[in-house]
């Protein structure tokens, strides 16, 4: 069976007793691991319990496909339902899961951590079609999900997040749930002893304004300026320092969104300054503001509309094609930079 996104949280808290095994997969490794732990803990809170929790590597099952069904049928010496964790798992685990489906006795829960399984994956297809198995997809968080994650984590600690800070934080977070959690925890720890219980933009910049984020700003500048040499250097820096490709794509999208908002407002006879004031997270002055104004002059509204479509397509490619995210992000930046150069040439 397929577990729909709206069903995930309820399933993690109370797994369907008819389900023998769950294959958790997707391009968000952090979220796969997080959900696997949550699901296992729903059966056995102590994952270090040697009597109720067993870890098996996927390649072990390739040589011993009967092992999983045997573990499913084994009883705990100390009582209680057992958890069998299979990680990492791929196509080598298909035969073992087929044996699990055919097993006649047992009550353990099998938690399988797969990678970014495509629709053609035999492991994924088996989990989706067998009544006693389930498939749980985990894909990169979108912007709305990231905002909700930040705000709910802050509320749990008695904190609030102002709008500019939230916008800045989400722009700089990657889509990987594990990385996102780590950054949020860092920020909450920083604010724990502060008497001001609202996370401000200054707080966010102080604690999360790392070199990778600065590098992303350089990529944005070079991309929308059409500076190919500077762009290549900035991209190398971002990725060498651990920058996340999806984070970069979303930063480009936010910048293009802001440009489009202000340009559209001005095109309707609105006040440019008023529109820029409404643009969330945009500084009131300084080099970032000057860069924004430069890009407004360089990018006409139709070209901005086209750029947003190209950026959205790139994010979808990151989630669905299985191609390297870094290659997709680099290709996107190059396309946009070439569009900027074309616009410059047309104005001469």
Residue 210: which pLDDT band, with cuts at 50, 70 and 90? low
Tell me the percentage of the chain whose pLDDT exceeds 70.
Answer: 87
d(CA 335, CA 311): 10
Residue 168: which pLDDT band, with cuts at 50, 70 and 90? confident
Residue 211: which pLDDT band, with cuts at 50, 70 and 90? very low
pLDDT tops 90 at residue 202:
no
Structural domains in the chain, sorted by start: 5-137 (3.40.50.300), 143-208 (1.10.8.60), 211-347 (1.20.272.10)
What Cα–Cα distance (Å) separates residue 256 from each residue in 166, 267, 295, 303? 18, 16, 9, 10
Q: What is the pLDDT of residue 348?
A: 64
Q: What is the pLDDT of residue 166?
A: 84
pLDDT tens for each residue of 73-97: 999 888 899 999 999 898 999 999 9
**Mean pLDDT calculated for residue range 272-294:** 67
pLDDT tens for each residue of 240-259: 877 888 889 988 998 898 89
Residue 98: which pLDDT band, with cuts at 50, 70 and 90? very high
d(CA 39, CA 19): 12
Exposure b/e, 267-289, CB count within 10 A at least 16 = b: eeeeeeeebbeebebbeeeeeee
pLDDT tens for each residue of 299-322: 989 999 999 999 999 988 887 777
Q: What is the pLDDT of residue 84?
A: 97
**Mean pLDDT calculated for residue range 150-165:** 89
pLDDT tops 60 at residue 283:
no
Answer yes or no: are the C-beta atoms of 175 and 250 closer than 8 Å: yes
Pairing of strands 133-137, 21-25: parallel
What Cα–Cα distance (Å) separates residue 232 from each residue in 201, 223, 253, 304, 334? 29, 10, 19, 22, 9
Q: What is the pLDDT of residue 116?
A: 83
d(CA 44, CA 47): 6
Q: Residue written as tokens 């297809």?
A: 125
Q: What's phi and psi for 115, nearest 5 deg?
A: -95, -145
Q: What's the mean pLDDT when you consider all of the chain?
A: 86
Token pair, residue 15, equals: 């797994």
Q: In what order do the strands lie in the sheet with 53-56?
A: 53-56, 83-89, 109-114, 21-25, 133-137
pLDDT tens for each residue of 15-52: 999 999 999 998 778 789 899 999 999 999 999 999 99
pLDDT tops 50 at residue 336:
yes
Answer yes or no: are the C-beta atoms of 129 and 165 closer than 8 Å: no
């Amino acid at each position: 069976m397929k577990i729909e996104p709206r069903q995930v949280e309820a399933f993690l808290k109370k797994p369907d007793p008819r389900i023998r095994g769950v294959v958790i997969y997707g391009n968000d490794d952090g979220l796969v691991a997080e959900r696997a732990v949550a699901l296992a803990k729903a059966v056995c809170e102590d994952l270090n319990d040697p009597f109720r929790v067993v870890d098996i590597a996927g390649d072990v099952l390739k040589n011993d496909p009967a092992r999983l069904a045997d573990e499913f049928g084994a009883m705990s010496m100390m009582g209680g339902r057992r958890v069998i964790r299979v990680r990492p798992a791929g196509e080598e685990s298909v035969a073992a899961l087929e044996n699990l489906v055919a097993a006649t006795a047992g009550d353990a829960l099998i938690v399988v951590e797969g990678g970014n399984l495509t629709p053609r994956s035999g492991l994924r297809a088996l989990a989706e079609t067998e009544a006693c198995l389930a498939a749980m997809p985990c894909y990169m968080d979108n912007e709305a999900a990231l905002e909700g994650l930040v705000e709910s984590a802050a509320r749990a600690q008695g904190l609030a997040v102002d709008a500019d800070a939230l916008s800045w934080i989400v722009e700089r977070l990657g889509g990987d749930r594990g990385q996102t959690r780590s950054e949020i925890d860092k920020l909450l720890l920083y604010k724990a002893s502060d008497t001001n219980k609202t996370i401000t933009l200054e707080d966010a910049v102080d604690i999360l304004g790392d070199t990778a984020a600065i590098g992303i700003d350089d990529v944005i500048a070079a991309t929308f300026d059409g500076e190919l040499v500077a762009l290549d250097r900035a991209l190398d820096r971002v990725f060498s320092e651990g920058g996340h490709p999806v984070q970069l794509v979303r930063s480009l999208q936010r910048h293009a969104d802001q440009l489009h908002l202000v340009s559209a407002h001005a095109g309707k006879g609105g006040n440019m300054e008023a529109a820029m004031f409404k643009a969330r997270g945009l500084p009131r002055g300084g080099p970032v503001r000057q860069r924004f104004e430069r890009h407004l002059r360089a990018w006409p509204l139709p070209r901005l509309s086209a750029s947003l479509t190209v950026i959205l397509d790139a994010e979808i490619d990151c989630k669905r094609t299985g191609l390297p995210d870094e290659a997709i992000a680099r290709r996107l930046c190059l396309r946009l930079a070439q569009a900027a150069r074309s616009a410059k040439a047309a104005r001469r």
